[in-house]
Amino acid sequence: MAVRRIIEIGDPVLRVGAAPLRPEAIGTPELRQLVVDIVDTMRASGGIGIAAPQIGEPVQAVVIEIAAESTRYPDMQPFALEVFLNPRITVLDATPQSFWEGCLSVPGLRGLVARPRGVRVDYLTVDGLEQSIVAEGFLATVFQHELDHLDGVLFVDRLPDTRRLATIENYVRFWRDADPEILDL
């Protein structure tokens, strides 16, 4: 187990974007170890998703896991641990939906971001198998947030209204129960 340091906003590494993994890299012990480190780091931080650039590795690898006992997002539907290599996203339903997002690389803040409500993600597993998954609702937002990291984009770049950017304390105090757009939180 290796919990790595999470790179935080302001570090240019987060803005570079990530290269696709070459076919010969898939399934190697080095990549498997990197995935273990990504998972360990996400779990140690209480996150529900993380992308390789957040630990300083500029490759297209994302992990999502929504544990039933998630402390950061206690009301979400669970999602079993999954690794997404070289993911490609297709919008299936462009209807905007808004969620208050947080990010391990933007500590202490939440912001209300609108994104399409339905997506399909085509990806490779750690064993190199081609898979696809359809996501709606909050999970669709999670995918879009994590895949944005592979393009060097952070959720704060997508805030339509910076008045809806808050410390977690003020999010809980002023917005969590008050904002009608948060249908599922």
Tokens 């996203």 belong to residue: 89
Residues 53-82 that bind Ni ion (CB under 5 A): none
**CA 165, 169, 174: angle at the middle one, nearest 5?**
65
Determine the Cα–Cα distance for residues 176 and 172; give it in Å rounded to an integer: 5
| Catalytic residue status for 146 | yes
| Nearest position to Ni ion, beta carbon | 103
Q: Which is nearer to Ni ion, 85 or 147 (CB)?
A: 147
Of 59 and 103, which CB lies nearer to Ni ion in the complex structure?
Answer: 103
* Marked catalytic residue, from 69, 146, 169, 181: 146
Q: Phi then psi for 68, rounded to 5 degrees?
A: -60, -30
φ, ψ of residue 161 in degrees (nearest 5): -150, 110
Task: Using the rule CB under 5 A, give the single segment among 26-34, 101-109, 119-127, 167-175 that binds Ni ion.
Answer: 101-109
Single out the residue of 64, 103, 121, 140 in contact with Ni ion (rule: CB under 5 A).
103
* Spatial distance between the Cα atoms of 149 and 176, rounded to a whole number of angstroms: 25
Which region among 17-25, 58-66, 96-104, 116-124 touches Ni ion (by CB under 5 A)?
Answer: 96-104
Q: Note the residues at the interface with Ni ion (CB under 5 A).
A: 103
